[in-house]
Amino acid sequence: MADSTPPASPSGRPVYVIGGGPGGLAAAYALRARGIRAVVLEKSDQVGAAWRRHYDRLHLHTTRRLSALPGLPMPRRFGRWVARDDVVRYLEKYAEVHELEIVTGVEVSRVERTPDGDGWLLHATGGRELTGAAVVVATGYNHTPYVPDWAGLDSYTGEFLHAGDYRSPVPYAGRDVLVVGVGNTGAEIAVDLMEGGAARVRLSVRTAPHIVRRSTAGWAAQYTGVLVRRLPTGLVDRLARPMAKLSVPDLSAQGLPRPATGLYSRVKEGAIPVQDVGLIDAVRKGRVEVVAAVDGFEDGKVVLADGTLVSPEAVIAATGYVRALEGLVGHLDVLDTLGRPVAHGARTPHHAPGLYFTGFTTPISGTLREVAMDSEKIAKTIVKNGGAALSRLPG
């Protein structure tokens, strides 16, 4: 991997890929496999930076076979549910095997049309101005940690951190911890803390999630997600209800009632079901206590939505991330009101041809599987539309 500005090509413009995570690497490979020069611009000093920051316990909730990127299977020795460190090793090997052109230490701050209107101008670290025939934005769904603007947070005297800064339960052994948020991250951190010896673990829930078994009798939940991916939302909602009753016990008495809205309807809104890696048993046995949503902080205590005041020694906010694309492309009118790209995969905004986005959805069939498929579609479209403007690889 290089750490300097890539040289200009006399035979056309390269495609710039912003982000050296799975989506960016897959897109670069798919382009290179078609003879197109693709340059990955990564702001950190290594590929897979976001994966390196995840907590130690993390394993993929999608199977090894359906999580590989194009052109390189994941090794069988990684097991069915691949660990965080093995995902990082895989991404490093992927870049090496495919000889991807990756420039590290370069952060792109703004993308705009070139003056001639035939390409894209990227403004990057150190005053760099890079001109590409097309741009693939792959900066990641979990880009910038989000913390709600809770009143009185500055008065809290305990330890406060976002889930993105959590690594292991070791520092919390013997302590009272409140985890805020019951997405997959919050649920898994709560279980991790409980198993790691925390004295008390409470899980603050605003909206009860759909919970699914990661695997039932060897059948991965992801397989079902793939099968229903393109079925009507209402139909999937109806099919999911009896399955949930059969596989997941009623936890209403413990504070986790079955959601009133359908599973796939929630997915369409961006709420992926919680894959059970121990939460069901932990809640059922009272080892993880479900409490109301956090409303704010007062006199060093946490105020819950039901009026209860609690005094945990540490609060871990598993409150999600924002895409943070506004500074990069917000001026191009390519984002919706929530800051998400209006077009995704091989589709481009009608007024921004040559600008592609990958990895900004949360599909029920698995994000890595989706970015792998997107990479091939994006590369085909770029080759089809790029013509002589594209920089071609020798041979």
- The number of beta carbons lying within 10 Å of the beta carbon of residue 103 is 21
Question: Which domains are seen in the chain, by residue range?
Answer: 15-143+323-389 (3.50.50.60), 146-317 (3.50.50.60)
Question: pLDDT at residue 361 above 80?
Answer: yes
pLDDT confidence of residue 12: 87
**Predicted confidence band of residue 9 (pLDDT cuts 50, 70, 90):** very low
**Predicted confidence band of residue 10 (pLDDT cuts 50, 70, 90):** very low
Helix (H) or strand (E) holding 354: none
Please enumerate in sequence order all residues whose Cβ is within 8 A of that of 193, keeping only pairs 6 or more positions apart, or say none. Answer: 169, 172, 177, 179, 201
Question: pLDDT at residue 6 above 60?
Answer: no
- Stronger pLDDT, 142 or 242, i.e. the higher one: 242
The pLDDT tens digits for 24-75 are 999 999 999 999 999 999 999 999 999 999 999 999 999 999 999 999 999 9
The pLDDT tens digits for 264-310 are 999 988 889 999 999 999 999 999 999 999 999 999 999 999 999 99
Phi/psi-derived region of residue 42, left when phi > 0, alpha when psi is between -120 and 50, beta in every other case: beta
Distance spanning both ends of the chain, measured CA to CA = 22
Q: Residues of the chain with pLDDT > 90: what percent?
A: 90
Mean pLDDT, residues 317-343: 95
> b/e for 276-294, b at 16 or more Cβ within 10 A?
bbbbbebbeeebbbbbbeb
The pLDDT tens digits for 231-258 are 999 999 999 999 999 999 999 999 999 9
The pLDDT tens digits for 198-221 are 999 999 999 999 999 999 999 999
Question: pLDDT at residue 390 above 90?
Answer: yes
Report the range of poorest mean pLDDT among 1-5, 100-104, 189-193, 254-258: 1-5
At 327, list the tokens: 């500074």
Query: Model's pTM, two decimal places?
Result: 0.93
Alpha helices in the chain (DSSP H): 22-32, 49-52, 84-97, 184-195, 221-228, 233-247, 263-268, 279-284, 326-329, 367-386
pLDDT confidence of residue 134: 97
**Residue 296, burial from CB neighbour count under 10 angstroms (0-12, 13-18, 19+):** middle
> How high is the mean pLDDT of the chain?
94
Mean pLDDT, residues 110-139: 95
